[in-house]
Structure 1
Amino acid sequence: MTQTTPRGDDVPDVLAPAKLGPVTLRNRIIKAATYEGLSRDSLVTDELIDFHVRHAAGGVGMTTVAYCAVAPEGRTDRKQILWRPEAVPGLRKLTDAVHAEGAAVSAQIGHAGPVANPKSNGAPALAPGRHFHLTTTSLTRTATRDDLARVVKGHADAARMAVETGFDAVEIHLGHNYLASSFLSPKLNHRTDEYGGRLENRARLARDIARAVRDAVGGEIAILAKLNMDDGVPGGFWLDEAIQVAQWIEQDGSLDALELTAGSSLLNPMYLFKGDAPLREFAAIMPQPVKLGVQLFGKYKLRAYPYKDAYLLDDARQIRAAVNMPLVLLGGITGKHVMDLAMREGFQFVAMARALLREPDLINRITAGEDARSLCIHCNKCMTAIYGGTRCVLVTPTSPRDTRRDATATS
């Protein structure tokens, strides 16, 4: 199966409305999931709503709420949103607020697996097998078949709740060595049962989750998944296997689009982000003895990678050539010139994160005809701000009202 690169008049206008499954977005630009650090007691807060309203008011077609766990032990921190009845009023308030700004809203759903924080959650982290997590200085618990069946059902239940609380889409987390991604990885998955060994077995959990979500919601909302192309570690999941998994997912018909990502939150967290590795800032927010570990060994664990615009494009092209389903290009989307490149390369959507943390109204200014390019310098210090609310540390946060006023002034 070969994807033909669009030519001339076939190239989509990234700023024009577009269909994503059953949903029509006002443009092809998605605010990528970035853990906001603004939920409390696993519930939505007004600060979390304001965060997404800022991006909706700033012009994106859809904003993504991250990260919404499908099980209590599947959180990377106990404060993260957990799908449960108590969360419904806040989630509905959030989706209503985003819709009032003209944008769609997606919920990223998943299970953190070995990336979860067992000390914070008060429950062991699940993984394909026993694994020592250096950051939390704890051992994972081997997931049983019953655990995996519960996690699959949890995704389906979360998707149903997303429909009921007004979300336009869900994004299934199949990346970064979270649970489904850890099963894909031959470095982490040494099982000898039907979930280990050959790729078809290692991909079983990811495919089961996606199919369960499709069965749960049908065509009521859009279904995306974030899939790793490369774990960024020797012996990990890599592009050749990612191509095959993408083809299987397309054959399953379970998704409306794939968002392509890379890196391991467990083993190589900076591989996705490219740019500087803010070691001093990371050490400052960590408790002992992790702080000392970052100071002594951080340069080996938190490596800096050279930045360039559209830095995942070379690998993403390989998946684009192998499937026909809609794809979302992530990584180094900094302005209209990169968005147009993505459209010419055959991608249907782009996803932005750091550029919009720096300038939430960037899309409004681009839509107004400005030759606006992101002011983000890829220092990655925003990654260290999550415990007090994710933001660009180089600017003073503005309220949603300020963002709307600024957007009106430039349009």
Structure 2
Amino acid sequence: MTTRQSVQVRYRALSQPGRIGSLTLPHRVLMGSMHMGLEGQPDKLGQLCDFYRERAEGMAALIITGGAAVTQAGGADHMYVLTEDADVEALASLPQAVHEVNGKIALQLFHSGRYAFADEIGMQPVAPSPIASRLTREVPREMTDEDIADTILAFAQGARRAMDVGYDAVEIMGSEGYLLNQFLSPLTNHREDEYGGSFERRMRMSLDVVQAIRRAVGAQYPIIFRMSGLDCMPGSTTPEETIAFAKALQEAGVDALNIGIGWHEARVPTVQQIVPRGGFATIAGTIRGHVSIPVIGANRLNVPEVADALVADGYLDFIAPARPWLADSQLARKVVEGDRAGLNVCIACNQSCLDHTLVRPHLPVSCLVNPRAGQEASWPVVEAPAKRRVAVVGAGPAGLQAAVTAAQRGHDVVLFEREAEIGGQFRMAARIPGKDEFYETIRYFREMLERLSVTVKMQTEPTPDELSMFDHVVIAQGVVPRVPEIRGTDLPHVVTYAQVLNGEVQVGRQIAIIGAGGIGCDVATFLAEGSHAPADVQAFFALQSLPTPPAMPREITVLARSDRYGHGIGRSTRWVVKQEMNRLGIRVVTNVDFREITPEGVRITSPDGDVFVKADQVILCAGQEAHETLAEALKGKVAVHVVGGARDSRGINAARAIREAFEVAYQIS
């Protein structure tokens, strides 16, 4: 039940109808391609159909599927292959599901090239030239003339098969360092034949593919080409060549350009939280200025106000975000209806989506802030069979999810929080540079608590007697910083990460951080960035021709017990965190044995022998422990469910905590 009418926001540019070739679309919000980890598995086809159907119901103007390989050599584990009749028959189910709810869907035509793994495709990968990638560390076989001709034909036949089984369009994957991008780049194309050498010859493969597809599908069938606007690879395609390529694609018969950014090997963040919202839109905008067909953008377009301004200002014609559709299956509906307050925003954490595709074996993709993603049929949004009184103790991420899920199921919910604000660990995480998107999740939960009439009792610690009056109690009190068994942790200059991030202590100038997991790295980055003037202050000084504001000197040393640091951070983000730490001059010492903390610093034993690390402040980032809960006192009095870090603090992360809370709350009946 809604307690108030949220303010509606008009996104006029995004709400305008548009066209891609012969395809008329009701607005400008598409759904970009992403692999769900469900493809290629007969027992998961229903899940995949449900996933796309719900996004079509969420008013996606056009859904672009995860890639379907045009040949076995161009595929990957759990990927449909368009030369296989059984796979094409399975793929036919997706447009059927989407069309049932009046949606539109395009199939992405894909070839990995040198990004394929031999053990996944059952053969040596192929590429323009035999150059290994950092991604696979395998040397591909150079494609012969016959290989090239067969691949061009496979793209064309794959497009025709897509059209024949009901897809409304196709998208050709020519970005992110995959095969067609490999032919275009001088880094990966060292050929000396008609498909290599000069730029005109390097782009021939892509143009031949487009022209072959056009012949196969006819003049009216929409073709989108996902091209790389910026490879982020030194020595690769130049901006001038990129513009020339866009023009050539238009002339070859492409109906729209979807602009990708970066290769998987690149050392430039493109999809992580650290990337500003809409940060690469100028790349797409530059291309749009040189072509007359629609240009689509995707990277870090997670909120409608940014996307709407970019479309209104002429940078883009359409947006095609992918992960934001994991976070909220009703993304376009909320944009068109102006329900910004009710939007569950993608926070670009990558923990349950991209990181799941980078491990082997691959894990099914889901979403940290929306655990239903990819499992819609298993968790339908319907009322529970019986209405119960539910208490949730703790308003961190797990408790918030439990309260909202229980209320969505029709239960009467009371949420108790000992602090003055909701959010728990997310409030601290949001203070880390590049992680302020976490505030969006807190905002969303606050909105949903109000819409669902959840009673929220702040600065309240309920007693066992109070809680025993409920039918169910969800304990989600989270974790507290662990204090390691090191002599000297009781000294006054020793503090926890929570005290630092919550602003409870004044920060020192010579700092030793004990612990080099995700929290230790985040705290180090937070403190190092804090020693510099904020970006807007620096910009103001530059605009006024003033000297750059000086940094406040701060020496930070991170001490790690193991030989590595950054454990617990997802694969797609860890390298970015380490890169930032190096940029900020943060010192990391590994393989440390802690001897004692003294008033002047920390005595350690390292591979260099006994070392004394001077510090006027020591910050404990040595893991977490479960917060003391009321579960034992409630045993036998009420149904108790303990979730997240309160249940098990070992290796706890937000994705696990939120998923546990969701599943427990959903099952209350």
Query: Fold conserved (TM > 0.5)?
Result: yes
Aligned-partner Cα distance in 2 for 1:33–1:205: 22
Q: Which residue of 1 aligns with 2:317?
A: 348
**Secondary structure at 1:402 match in 2:** coil
**SS where residue 320 of structure 2 aligns?**
strand
CA RMSD, 1 decimal = 2.4
Distance of 1:217 and 1:258 partners within structure 2: 18
Q: CA deviation at 1:109?
A: 0.1
**What pairs with 1:187-206 in structure 2 (closer than 5 Å)?**
187-206=187-206
- Alignment of 1:402 with 2:375, yes or no, is no
For residues 246-288 of structure 1, give each alpha carbon's deviation from its aligned partner in whole angstroms, at most 9, with x where no partner exists. 0111222x111000111112x227643132xxxxxxxxxxxxx
Asked if the contact 2:327/2:344 (under 8 Å) is kept, the reply is yes
What is the CA–CA distance in structure 2 between the aligned matches of 1:122 and 1:399, rounded to whole Å?
33
Deviation at 1:244, TM superposition (A): 0.8
Q: Distance in 2 between matches of 1:91 and 1:173?
A: 17
Aligned equivalents of 1:164 and 1:132: distance in 2? 37
Higher alpha-carbon deviation: 379-388 or 350-359: 379-388
Q: Normalising by structure 2, what TM-score?
A: 0.52
CA separation of 1:325 and 1:220: change in aligned 2, threshold 3 A:
closer
1:224-235 alignment runs, 5 A limit: 224-235=224-235
Pair 111,403 (structure 1): closer, same or farther in 2 beyond 3 Å: farther
Pick the aligned partner of 2:276 from 308, 325, 329: 308
Between the two proteins, what is the percent identity of the paired residues? 27
1:319 corresponding residue in structure 2: 287
**Alpha-carbon displacement from aligned partner over 1:191-222 (angstroms, at most 9, x marks no partner):** 11111111101100011111111111013431
Deviation at 1:404, TM superposition (A): 9.7
| Matching residue's letter, 1:391 | S
> Could you report, residue by residue, the CA deviation over 1:62-111 in whole angstroms, capped at 9, with x for unpaired residues?
11111100000101x23201112212332222111111122100100021
| Residue pair 2:195, 2:203 contacting (<8 A) in 1 also | yes
Q: How far is the alpha carbon of 1:403 from its aligned partner? A: 6.2
Q: Could you list the per-position Cα deviations for residues 147-178 of structure 1 after superposition, in whole angstroms to 9, with x for gaps in the alignment?
A: 11111000100011011110001000111111
Q: Relative to structure 1, is the Cα distance of residues 103 and 325 closer, same or farther in structure 2, using a 3 angstrom cutoff?
A: same
Matched, 1:268 2:266: yes
- Aligned residue-pair number: 365
Measured in 1, the distance between the counterparts of 2:381 and 2:285 equals 35
Structure 1 partner of 2:298: 330
User: In the aligned structure 1, how far is the partner of 2:240 from the partner of 2:225?
Assistant: 18
Partner SS for 1:172? strand
Q: Distance in 2 between matches of 1:374 and 1:223?
A: 31
Aligned pairs for 1:162-181 within 5 A = 162-181=162-181
Alpha-carbon distance in 2 for matches of 1:40, 1:141: 25
Are 1:41 and 1:79, in contact at CA under 8 Å, matched by a contact in 2? yes
Tell me the residue number matched to 2:52. Answer: 52
For 2:382 and 2:201, locate their aligned partners in 1 and report how far apart those are by CA, in whole Å.
49
- Runs of 4 or more, structure 1, over 6 Å off, are 403-406
SS at match of 1:107: strand
Pairwise CA distance, 1:238: 3.5
Which structure has the bigger radius of gyration?
Answer: 2
Q: Match for 2:345: what amino acid?
A: L
The match for 2:80 is 81
Alignment gaps of 5+ in structure 2: 1-10, 384-407, 409-447, 452-669
- Give yes or no for contact 1:334–1:374 (8 Å, CA) kept in 2: no
Amino acid at match of 1:402: P
- Give the counterpart letter for 1:389 in structure 2: P
SS of the equivalent of 1:246 reads: helix
- Aligned match of 2:356: 385
Aligned to 1:243: 243
Write the distance in 2 (CA, Å) between the matches of 1:176 and 1:371: 31
**1: CA distance, partners of 2:189 / 2:328:** 40
How far 1:43 sits from its partner (Å)?
9.5
* 1:352 alignment partner, SS class: coil
Deviations 1:19-39 (A, max 9, x none): 221222232211100111111
1:404/1:172 CA distance change after superposition, 3 Å: farther
Local SS of the residue matching 2:92:
helix
Q: Does structure 2 retain, via aligned residues, the 8 Å contact 1:358–1:376?
A: yes
Q: CA separation of 1:220/1:317 partners in 2, compared to 1, >3 Å: closer, same or farther?
A: closer
Equivalent residue of 2:15, what SS?
Answer: coil
Residue deviations 1:296-350 (CA, integer Å, cap 9, x gap): xxxxxxxxxx321112112112111111111112212223322322322332211
Which of the pair is proportionally richer in helix? 1
CA distance in structure 2 between the partners assigned to 1:149 and 1:168 by the alignment: 26
Change (3 A) 1:269 1:167: farther
Contact 2:284 2:296 in 1 (8 A): no
SS of the residue 2:34 aligns to: coil
